[in-house]
Chain A
Amino acid sequence: MKTRFRVRITTAGYLYIALTLAVALAGVNTGNNLLYLSASALLALMTLSGLLSVLNLLGLSVRIEPPEETFAGVPSPFGIHLQARGWPRFFLRVRLLEGESRVLYLRDRCRVLLWVRPPRRGEIHLPPLEIYSGYPLGLFRRSRFWPLGIRLLVYPRPLPGRVPLSVRDTVPVPSSGARFRPPEPEEFSGLGPYREGIPASRIAWRASARTGTLRMKEFEGGGGRTLILDLGATPSEEELSRATHLILRALGEGYAVGLRLKGQEIPPGRGPQKRRQLLEALAYA
């Protein structure tokens, strides 16, 4: 990966530069060699600090592990694997969009979690990952950027609330007024990754604790209810958001969900495959 560097001078850094110049000026003025010496030392420290800060960011390799699903405006965990070759690194900060995390000390490798909130739905191009540090003295802040080259498909932000009746079409219609009644759990089909909008009771705690990431029980069922959403030809952003929430919730509770959108029709179904198909349709809408 081709990376690039950038340096920012902090307030303390500007002060330091001013001081160096002042001492050098005093040295030239008086011809006092000890002032020259002080100025040289200040300059030397500046050089060395620059050198150390570059060394601190060199020899780092980065691997990014995007979450399986991301929703606009919802923070999603991006795992960043850092590996440092050779010497130890100090006081790194990893940043991607507004997600930021600190690494005090890196000897070999570590993984940090960044909570990133994608700005909008649809396909987005992630900005480069920034690792920066004011190390060693906080006078200059050096950043290194890793272009990720990841195109991320962001689903619409799930927004709770009732979908306006005109765009909702459920078959068969659930009893009026009542929200979704949780059906009896159907056949347990395995464990899957945790997804937004699933009630906490479906989380497989034991498996989650074992693997370190949230897992949930997946069910697949034959019979049961079906929900087909008709969003018409030109759904608004808000409608898309509410539809996303509704789909997530309905799938989580065992409904077979279908979607009609801009003349395109997705037949009702369940399971992770269907879920992705539905969400992608909403993301690209």
Chain B
Amino acid sequence: MAREPGIFPAPGGDVLNREKLSSVRSRLEEVIRGKAQEVELALVCFLARGHLLLEDLPGTGKTTLALALARVTGCAFRKVAFTSDLLPADILGAEVWRPEKGVFEFKPGPIFTHILLADEINRASPRTQSALLEAMAEGKVSVGGKTYPLPRPFMVIATQNPEDLQGTYPLPESQLDRFLLRLSLGYPDPEEEKKILQADGYYEAACDLPAVLSPEEARALQEEVRRVRVSERLLAYLLELAAESRRHREFRYGFSTRGLLALKQAAQALAYIRGRDFVTPEEVKAVFVPVAYPRLLPRGEIPPPAREEMLREFLEQVPVPL
């Protein structure tokens, strides 16, 4: 958006942070080609301290996205391929007997990282799933009566294959709420796909990305996002959306208060990315479908694109405050 000096007050927050943020964004777009919107939303999720659910077919660049995000934010990255025989301890870690010291010592699992890619999360048993999701919600791990805080920032990127459901344990509805938003990368445009072929894939490129931020800076950004202003009028719009969703017959449940909070936080993060220090309905509408997707579940079996369409349609029914 064109900016005329003098008309707009300078955006709030640290100017340097914003510079870095736009650099983060452009770096990400270098390796995730032709998916500017999805990249933006992934960044929203990161800044709003949420967790991301990626629903995609294999080979659409999920790992590249997670890795690239970790690299540019300077965060530690781990990937766990979820299988049916994976136990909670394999993720959280366990207390092991140290004969030389004569004590039980906690050996942290792969979850003790900044960004965790939980690949094919629906292949793990419900027990393992719930262990992970609990840790996600609380930001700490309890093993053997002791609590171990997870590093910050902490973000889980879980992936699911929406097609191949054989031998999987679908995530229960109550757990879905723990993800801030749900994304689907999908296939790239033919033009972009050609470029990917020419470049021999972008995975290596993602590994070589320089770190633009440090984890501390990332945390500071997350703090700033929380200070993005949410006006009364916008709050009224959010509440109207919630009330409307609870009235809607096609959804099993409407927004929970936590869901509404997620919508607010995501909108704040997007506003921050867009250089605003306040939220407008534009941002709410832009993040609505990914945020609502894991929360407003339809009554019948509806394929994902139709579900997105349904959510968009719902959004078109709620009057926007001017």
Give residues in A with beta carbon < 8 Å to B: 75, 113, 115, 117, 200-201, 205, 208-209, 214
Contacts and interface: CB of A to CB of B under 8 A. Distances in A.
* Secondary structure of the B contact surface, majority rule: helix
Contacts of A75: 232, 235
Interface residues of B, number: 9
Nearest to B177: A205
B261 A200 contact: yes
A209 B235 CA distance: 20
B239 interface: yes
B219 to A, nearest CB: 14
Contacts of A200: 261
A264 B277 CA distance: 40
A214 B261 CA distance: 12
Contact of A115 (B138, B236, B257): B236
A243 B135 CA distance: 34
A201 B139 CA distance: 10
A115 B261 contact: no
B127 interface: no
A209 B232 contact: no
A208 B260 CA distance: 14
B256 A209 contact: yes
Contacts of A209: 256
B55 to A, nearest CB: 25
A200 B236 CA distance: 20
B258 A115 contact: no
B261 A117 contact: no
Nearest to B256: A209
Nearest to A117: B232
Nearest to A206: B174
A231 to B, nearest CB: 26
A115 B239 CA distance: 10
- List the 5 closest pairs (A to B, CB-CB), nearest first: A75-B232, A205-B258, A214-B257, A209-B256, A208-B257
A68 to B, nearest CB: 17
B256 A115 contact: no
Given A75-B232, A115-B235, A205-B256, 8 more contacts: A75-B235, A113-B239, A115-B236, A115-B239, A117-B232, A201-B138, A209-B256, A214-B257
Contacts of A117: 232
